[in-house]
Amino acid sequence: MADRVRTALLRAALWGLRYIPWRVRWGFSRLVGGVIARRHARRRQAAQINLELAFGDTLSTREKERIATLSFQNFLGCVLDLLAVIPRLTADNWHRYVKVSENDLAIAREAVAEGKGVLFIFAHYGNWELMGAAMAFMGLSQVNGVAKRQSSWANPVLEELRTRNGNGVIYKEGAARKTLYALKKGEMVGFAIDQNYSQGIFVPFFGLEAATADAMAGLARASGAPILPFSCLPNGDGTYTGRFFPVIHARHTDDKEADIMGTTRDCLAVLEDMIRERPEYWLWSHKRWKTRPPHEQPARKLYEPAALRR
């Protein structure tokens, strides 16, 4: 009963949110995001450490502080936007919210035309959920996002949000088999590769080895599906600009392990370039470099309290 009440309250909140003007949503995000940036010490310190690891002396301390604060504010703003906008998206109006050039659409359509399905990279950068929802109306193919189940009261609402435009969700249990099946049908499947994955492989990210999920690279090699990077960043007027970038084809030699490592490296390199261009839209408060490679002895404890006080 408690879960049902929480679910009902969440649905009511989302229904009301769609009627709040975008300026109010972003004003709220600036205010609350700024408070979180100041008051949530461990998250802010993690963001500061990440920015130091990624940029070192190439950015001033003041600039890294600015990026950290904007990261909190922009993440909250994008979340409120996706919750408010996705329920309103239709085939007739999606382009009023997400603007995609014909050249970028051509990149995505050519990837679909290869006939092997498409794997796309999504990251906690900009508004990835809104872009995924809009892709349902771009004349491409069904979009499926690989995700983990959330709490029992929130998951039904999130699933409704993600599937309302004909898209699908592939939960992590049995995701590899389900992904291959979707690719055989010519569908699109998205994987997040920008977060720490303790059971993954170690690939350079901003010059420092990062534990990264290798499933997407392995599935691309097995299926031949192209990998499509994209971004979706706010324009400051209630709209977003969606971009598709040139596809990445999986390496395929006699050395499977080296192929997966190389393809994952290629994907992270593209993602890194995007983040470097507009770093304030990535979620810097995640402990991206927490898991350290076995050969790093002694292992660097980058997020221990002593490190956070530096």
Annotate 220-276 with DSSP letters as a single string. HHHH---EEEEEEEE-SSS-EEEEE---BPPP-SS-HHHHHHHHHHHHHHHHHHHHH
Rounded average pLDDT over 253-261? 97
**Total domain count, the chain:** 1
Query: 109: burial class by Cβ within 10 Å (0-12, 13-18, 19+)?
Result: middle
Structural domain span for residue 105: 2-308
Evaluate if residue 149 carries a pLDDT over 80. no
Range of weakest confidence among 53-62, 155-164, 173-182? 155-164
Confidence of residue 5 (pLDDT cuts 50, 70, 90): confident
pLDDT tens, 278-294?
999 999 999 999 999 99
State residue 16's pLDDT score.
85
Whole-angstrom distance, CA of residue 165 vs CA of residue 93 = 13
Rounded average pLDDT over 239-254? 97
Evaluate if residue 110 carries a pLDDT over 70. yes
What share of the chain has pLDDT > 90, as a percent? 80
* Contact in structure between 97 and 130 (CB atoms under 8 Å): yes
pTM of the model: 0.91
pLDDT tens, 38-51?
999 999 999 999 99
Evaluate if residue 310 carries a pLDDT over 60. no
Evaluate if residue 153 carries a pLDDT over 90. no
Confidence of residue 308 (pLDDT cuts 50, 70, 90): very low
Rounded average pLDDT over 134-142? 93
Evaluate if residue 241 carries a pLDDT over 60. yes
Confidence of residue 3 (pLDDT cuts 50, 70, 90): low
What share of the chain has pLDDT > 70, as a percent? 97
